[in-house]
Amino acid sequence: MTDVRVSCAPAGEGWRCHVEVVDRGRTSSFELTSGDRRDLLAAGTANATEADVERLVAQTFRFLLEREPVTSILSSFDLAIVARYFPEYPAEIRRRLAGTTA
């Protein structure tokens, strides 16, 4: 089973998050930023708390891991780039954060 651990802190107008993915005994580390709070608006988390952002990032990594191996995920990236690679991401992440899986 893959474990995703996330810790986030405010950084300027956005957030900076450290992510660890533990899979088959190997730990991979990532740095993710949300350069602008509008990223959170797009995900439906307008007045995001630290816990909201951590949930968004954890769900984003689960989304990515369903589509590519951990070794293919960039070690550092901004949240906004995910939709460029996966056009279905915005709608899917909103569903996940709302608690549906359709």
Residues 20-71 have pLDDT tens digits of: 999 889 999 999 998 765 555 555 555 667 888 899 999 999 999 999 999 9
- Position 13 scores a pLDDT of 78
Q: Which domain holds residue 25?
A: 3-98
Asked if pLDDT for residue 101 goes beyond 80, the answer is: no
pLDDT band at 102 (very low <50, low <70, confident <90, very high): very low
- How far apart (Å, rounded) are the C-alpha atoms in residues 79 and 81? 5
Amino acid at site 43: A
Q: Determine the 3-state secondary structure of 23 from DSSP.
A: strand
CA 12, 7, 55, 79 torsion: positive or negative?
positive
How far, in Å, are 2, 23, 70, 78 from residue 50 at the CA level? 23, 25, 24, 17
Q: Residues near 23 by Cβ (< 8 Å), separated by ≥ 6? A: 2, 3, 70
Q: In the chain, how many domains are there?
A: 1
